[in-house]
Structure 1
Amino acid sequence: MVGLCGSYGAQRRDVEPISAALSRSDADEHFEYGTRDLRGQTIAHSEEGRPATVPGEDTSLVVWGSVYSRERSGGYERRPPGVTVAEFCARAYAEDGVGALTEMNGEFVCVVERPDDGRVRIVTDRLGTQPVYYHAEPGAITFSTSIQALATHPGIETRYVPEYLAEYLGSKTVRGLRTPLSGIERLPPASVSTLDSDAGEVRSERYWQPIHRPENRPFSAFVDQFIDRFLDAMDDRIRDDRRHGLLLSGGSDSRLVLATLDRVTAYGFSDSSGEVETARRVAYLAGVPFTRFDDESGYDRRLLRHNAEVSNFVGWFNEGNAIGVEGTLRREVDALVSGLYADVLFKGWTVPTRRLSTPAGSLPVPTAKTIETREAVLGTRDGSTPPYLPDGAVRRAHDWNLSAGSPIVDHGVTYPSYGALSDHGFWYPLTNETSFDRYSDQQVLPTVYPFLDRRLIDLALRLPTPYALRYNLVDRALARLAPELAAIPHDESGLALSRPRWLHRFATMGAELRSDTGGNAATLRETDWIAEVLEGHRSTIRALPLVEYDAVRETYDAHMAGADHTAALCGLLTLLEMPVTQTVATSVRSSPSSELPIRPDDGTVFTRGD
């Protein structure tokens, strides 16, 4: 892995075990930082991960991630060529203090140490795109961008919290600041956190939160502004001294990225949908090299092993394809470019909508539901519980972690209203969004995400909800910038991207009804190693709270017989292969109190077997 770790306090922990767990390659660059009571390390892909000293001050600063520009004076100041991220942030800090770090445009976390007053602060970006996990105790606060590396430290004791373990297995993530591990929390997004090692506390101040302020303008005006901001975002991120590789899909988001690139190599991954063939056609028309990665013997097993060891309990092993071909990618390119998150921000993907019953099935209607109550928020969440867990365990985890009344607090994150939680809670913080691809990609190579640019996030918060639901902003932008690429049919609907969105909805629905591929469920049935993995982890499964081994085997057998338990099995397989699971399971097996309730202080208690 690459990432950041540190420990602060008079009784700070040795960070070498965390650093060793973070490093996956001999090619990784290692940098130490900190003085006095702070010691830390960064493991980076290149020399750009080197810490920096603030000019004119006895202050050191280390950044993990990427910063492309700084928002100031109504515009954006781009990071100059040849200036590292840490140097850029250090110069801004020298001018305007810690507030300058809250103006940085990128995906990053920054640690600032001032030895003169013994203060250590950690600044997270707006969406918390680089999550930081911490364990606090009197005398030491230890942190890392990898929960696996942190939780397996020999000096840190932790166990699975049944409530949050159930949430991960059922929902692909644990929302907000919570994690499935006792004593380990996540720093909030858009915050400046001060570490108080004497008290063993972390105090965070929020500097931003998403607020929807829709503007009454024609949709075409939003298309104009979107194109301008997207081109600026790409200019910030694409460097002439790098060979870029584009993760190309069959949709419009990565096509739009391709339309702005002069030199790039495109990559696609085969699956049952045939999406890779659309990607090949797009690359051919654009005149760029294209590599198709087909499933090979042992590929999915390799994905499970590699992705589980870098998992932060967000998503499942079968979603991060890049790590399975990292050797090829590292030989051929220096950085990856991804089209992730356009769906989340600009296409109304997370907006609860009304549905219309038709003879062919339920069809979403581009009209948003009004969400104004706690019950309405909970009603939008999928409370499906894997068959090997007690009934209702996932729904109870959501229920117990959402406050009733003001302030609105969901899993430790505060929102101004239930409506705001519904609007933005899927991506604020970004770890609420369940795609594992980003966490896997950045372990392979530096990866840029232009749709996460601050200018585009601001624009998304001004886009009226009806526009997001009725139109496709990305498709419109692509039709302007590269109409020839927009003319290639979408892999799901079979229609050119310039066609109306409602027509795509009907066409996609019809294609799904006609499809007999079986999708991921069928792929999982063709995998010959799952039963062996489950059997090999028999004792581990028995040590997990709430999970019954016999129920796990019944779930697997039912899936092989035709039921669809893809989600339940993928989540469990990812969990079983995580390094922290082996550590925690070993400690539970040696403890007489392995029957842990979901919530000891609640009147309703569920233990394994209920």
Structure 2
Amino acid sequence: MVGACGVIGGEHPIDGLSDTLVRTGDERIDRYEDDKIRLRSVRHRSRSGENPGRPAGDDALIWVWGNVLGEEVDGTHRPRPLDEPAPAYCARLFEEHGLGFVERLNGDFFGVVYDRERATVSLFTDRLGTRPLYVTEADDGGIVFSSHVQSLDRYPAVSLAFDDEYVAEHLSWRGGPLGVKTPFEGVEALQPGTVTTYDLGDDSVERDTYWRPRPSTAGEFDGFDEFIGEFVERFRAATAALTRDRSKEYGILLSGGSDARLVLAALPDDLDVTAFHMADWMSKEARVAERIALEKGIEFRFLRRGPDYNARVLDRSPEYWNFQQLFNQAWAEGFIEEIRSEVDVLLTGHFMDTMYKGLFVPVRHVDLGPLGVRELPFELPITSVEAYHEELGPRVPGYLDTDVDLAAVARRNVRRTADDVEAYGVRYDSFRDFVHGRLHYPATTDPLFRQCLREGLELRIPTLDRRMIDLWDAMPTRYKTRRTVVNAAVGELDADLAAIPHADSGVAVDRSRFTHLLGHVPMNKLAELSPFDAVPATHLNHHPWGNQSELVRERDYVENALDDSEELIRALPFLDHDEVRECYEMHLDGTNMTRYLYRLVTFLKAPVTARIAGLDDGEDDEPVKDEVAVDTVARDGRSSGRVPGDADDD
């Protein structure tokens, strides 16, 4: 899947929308138009089958994008036949169950049902809304939707404008806004787990939420071992479902941690897979990833970023940012062509941290002085909007020239009733579930990472299998804060992989959470003293993403972006140019302002920002292709070549 866009009603052509969805030039574009709806589907050529599907007994058309693995019937997973493309499969289910077919689906997807007999158009999302679809109303009365929010104003009757309150949240330290809200007036993403139906006769809109998580207090198991046994069984089934089609070549993004290691451990033994690791140098993390690949006897491809990688990302990818992310989170943007040349499908361990490691569960912390501030395995109760804003809310940067009160914005957007909570357009069963991010909307951290991968090839994520979502839905919170579910599952699946130390803690991954917490600080301190782990530059470290704070000081890509955007900064009424420069100077002087600066340059470089400010010159820059150095380790363990410039890194 690459993307989709369309207009329900309206008067104007939509080719301007669809043109912005084409990334590689190798995509397939499906077009549909009549007097009620116009739609464009942009997808990878490796996807089989025509979009839309056509039910045999109904006058309807069904489009679907993403991964549709099958359906669940009475607790049993029924896989989609490999020879039946997803659109045709959904059309058959629609014929049998009507719109209720969406609730039965397993996978990560969004789609459109055009029921010509009933004169309705329905837009549907998967349970977690993992593939966003943005909707707004045009001046000509049309309902415009797109998977790329910046494309919406390419429809002639849409003029986007910024919402000052949500822009303030977006540019804050934590980012935002939350839920279905966006920084644009009148633009929202579709809610997760919903079917939104537009009646073409009376212009009414009906939203049916077909799935919501149970309250976070639900679900008990007869001990942690029982939970891990269930986890392993379901996860193995999920990875098998994603790799059934052996006509395709598979790859995996491999780190030195535990998430991707779990995916690798669960893959069928007869699957041929290539491992990719992205980093700035052959760090400890990269070496651990290579060791994991060698242990499994698979090919290891090292994709090396150079110090100018961030500058290239700023040049080549801003037109499809969805205002959910920092630009540098397009970690794979410069390697898409390389990965696509090797594999058809890429597997990742995404969502492990949000679903099974308690990333969104607030916990208590303790200051250990020279050992830093360390988290404790105890939930921090937050029971009011005021406490939420104080503990977890956004912090406004000094360069915002606005009187927006973000605490008041939070109060207006979080409404509690006797039965549930509505927060930023998403309903939760309790305030605690909202605090925990039980719907994870927009699903997890680093959405741009997933998005840039999906733009180039098929991306598959085992944790999004509904069997795994059901298990997460019943998972006790204490397992997230006090146990190591992913690590324990690796130990159950592959003891040899589990014995390889975690790159960060230096401890075998199947050890307890407490052991990893103890190992983290001393192992990293020892690494600073070890000549074998010496870091060759101040912007480098032993993590896969490098030291971004130092990189901003050593390279001029942020300064250049601010200089190039000076006219734009002065034209936007909510930005103070002098304070922007002060923020940058503060960073150069040692105060870490990286997140504020990255949010700002991401916002400024997005083409829609200049269009809203009236400064768009009408010319789209050609994307800059990145240069990629690749190191391959063959199955016999012998290196086929060194990465240029890494001679002293090992």
3-state SS, counterpart of residue 403 of structure 1: strand
Which residue does the alignment assign to 1:41? 40
Note the C-alpha offset of 1:301: 1.7
What's the counterpart of residue 625 of structure 2?
none
- In structure 2, the partner of 1:259 is 265
The one-letter code sitting in structure 1 at the alignment partner of 2:346 is: L
Alignment partners' CA distance in 1, 2:157 and 2:253 = 40
**Which residue of the partner structure matches residue 126 of structure 1?**
127
Tell me if structure 1 keeps the 8 A contact 2:168–2:404.
no
What is the Cα deviation at residue 63 of structure 1?
A: 0.5
The number of equivalent residue pairs is 587
Q: CA deviation at 1:507?
A: 2.2
Determine which of 379, 382, 396 is the counterpart of 1:368: 379
Question: Which amino acid in structure 2 is aligned with residue 87 of structure 1?
Answer: A
Specify the alignment match of 2:162 in structure 1: 160
Distance 2:380 2:478 in 1: 11
Cα deviation, residue 541, structure 1: 1.3
| 8 Å contact kept, 2:253–2:348 | yes
Alignment of 1:168-567 (within 5 A): 168-170=170-172, 171-196=174-199, 202-211=205-214, 212=216, 213-238=218-243, 239-261=245-267, 262-271=271-280, 274-296=284-306, 298-359=308-369, 360-390=371-401, 394-406=406-418, 407-425=420-438, 427-431=439-443, 433-510=445-522, 519-567=547-595
In the alignment, the residues of structure 2 paired with residue 34 and residue 97 of structure 1 have an alpha-carbon distance, to the nearest angstrom, of 23
On the 8 A contact 2:3/2:21 being kept in 1, the answer is yes
Once the two structures are superposed, what CA deviation does each residue of 1:222-279 show, in whole Å capped at 9, x if it has no partner?
1110011001111111121111111111110101111233311111111477422221
Shift, 1:202, TM fit: 4.0
CA pair 439-398 structure 1, distance change in 2 beyond 3 A: farther
Gaps (5+ residues) in structure 1?
590-610
User: Over residues 138-180 of structure 1, what are the superposed CA-to-partner deviations in whole Å (9 max), with x where a residue is unaligned?
Assistant: 6310101110111343331111111111211222332111111
Letter in 2 for 1:111: V
Aligned to 1:8: 8
Q: What's the offset of the Cα at 1:570?
A: 1.0
Q: Are the aligned partners of 2:119 and 2:199 in contact in 1 as well (CA < 8 Å)? A: no
User: Counterpart of 1:255 in structure 2: which amino acid?
Assistant: R
Q: Is the 8 A contact 2:3 2:43 kept in 1?
A: yes
3-state SS of 1:32 partner: strand
- 3-state SS, counterpart of residue 360 of structure 2: coil
Q: Distance in 1 between matches of 2:423 and 2:264?
A: 37
Counterpart-to-counterpart distance in 2, 1:420 and 1:442: 29
1:539 deviates by 1.1
Give, in angstroms, the shift of residue 405 of structure 1.
4.5
Equivalent position amino acid for 1:231 in 2 = R
Contact residue 141 and residue 200 of structure 1 kept, 8 A: no
Q: Deviations over 1:305-342 (max 9, x none)?
A: 33322211111111122221111111111111110111
Q: Hey, what does 2:148 align to over in structure 1? A: 146
Q: Whole-Å Cα distance in 2 between the matches of residues 180 and 216 of structure 1?
A: 42
**TM-score normalised by L of structure 2:** 0.86
Aligned pair in 2 of structure 1 residues 76, 404: CA closer, same or farther (>3 Å)?
closer
Cα–Cα, structure 1 residues 295 and 393, in superposed 2: closer, same or farther, change >3 Å? farther
Q: Are the equivalent residues in 1 in contact too, given 2:280–2:306 (CA < 8 A)?
A: no
**Contact 2:54–2:91, Cα closer than 8 Å, also in 1:** yes
SS at match of 2:144: strand
Quote how far apart the aligned CAs of 1:31 are: 0.4
- Match of 2:415, SS state, is coil
Note if contact 2:165-2:404 (Cα within 8 Å) is conserved in structure 1. Answer: no
Q: After superposition, give the CA deviation of every residue in 1:559-591 in whole Å (9 maximum; x if it has no partner).
A: 1222111101111111111121121121799xx
Instruction: Give 1:594's aligned residue.
Output: none
Instruction: Determine helix, strand or coil for the equivalent of 1:53.
Output: coil
What's the offset of the Cα at 1:120?
Answer: 0.5
Q: Does the 8 A contact of 1:12 with 1:141 survive in 2?
A: no
Give the Cα–Cα distance (whole angstroms) in 2 for the partners of residues 397 and 12 of structure 1. Answer: 36
Given that 1:475 and 1:498 are in contact with CA atoms closer than 8 Å, whether structure 2 keeps it comes out as yes
SS in 2 for 1:64: strand
Segment drifting more, 275-284 vs 233-242: 275-284
Deviations 1:352-379 (A, max 9, x none): 1122333333322211123333333334
Matched residue, 1:608: none
Secondary structure, counterpart of 2:20 in structure 1: helix
> Relative to structure 1, is the Cα distance of residues 102 and 13 closer, same or farther in structure 2, using a 3 angstrom cutoff?
farther
Per-residue deviation, residues 423-450 of structure 1 (Å, max 9, x unmatched): 334x432346454211111111110010
Q: Give the Cα–Cα distance (whole angstroms) in 2 for the partners of residues 12 and 368 of structure 1.
A: 53
Q: 1:546 to 1:300 in 2, by over 3 A?
A: same
When residues 22 and 257 of structure 1 are mapped into structure 2, their CA distance, relative to the original with a 3 A threshold, is same
Structure 1 residue aligned with 2:136? 135
Give the C-alpha shift of residue 347 in structure 1: 1.4
1:99 counterpart = 2:111: no
Q: Distance in 2 between matches of 1:109 and 1:341?
A: 18
Q: Give the TM-score taking structure 1 as reference length.
A: 0.91
Cα contact 2:501–2:508 (8 A) shared by 1: yes
Aligned partners of 2:410, 2:496: CA distance in 1, in Å? Answer: 45
Tell me how large the CA RMSD over aligned residues is.
2.3
**Once the 2 structures are TM-superposed, how far is the Cα of residue 200 of structure 1 from its aligned partner?**
6.2
Whole-angstrom distance in 2 between the partners of 1:538 and 1:196: 46
Letter of the aligned partner of 1:437 in structure 2? F
Q: Residues 472 and 75 (structure 1 numbering): CA distance in 2 closer, same or farther, change over 3 Å?
A: same
Q: For residue 199 of structure 1, report the CA deviation from its aligned partner.
A: 6.9
1:575 aligns with 2:603: yes
Q: Determine helix, strand or coil for the equivalent of 2:480.
A: helix
AA of the residue aligned to 1:330: R
Contact between 1:52 and 1:90, CA under 8 Å: does it hold in 2? Answer: yes
Q: Report the Cα distance in structure 2 between the residues aligned to 1:332 and 1:193, rounded to whole angstroms.
A: 39
Matched letter for residue 372 of structure 1 = T
Q: C-alpha deviations, 1:455-497, integer Å up to 9, x for none?
A: 1111112121112211111111111211111111111111111
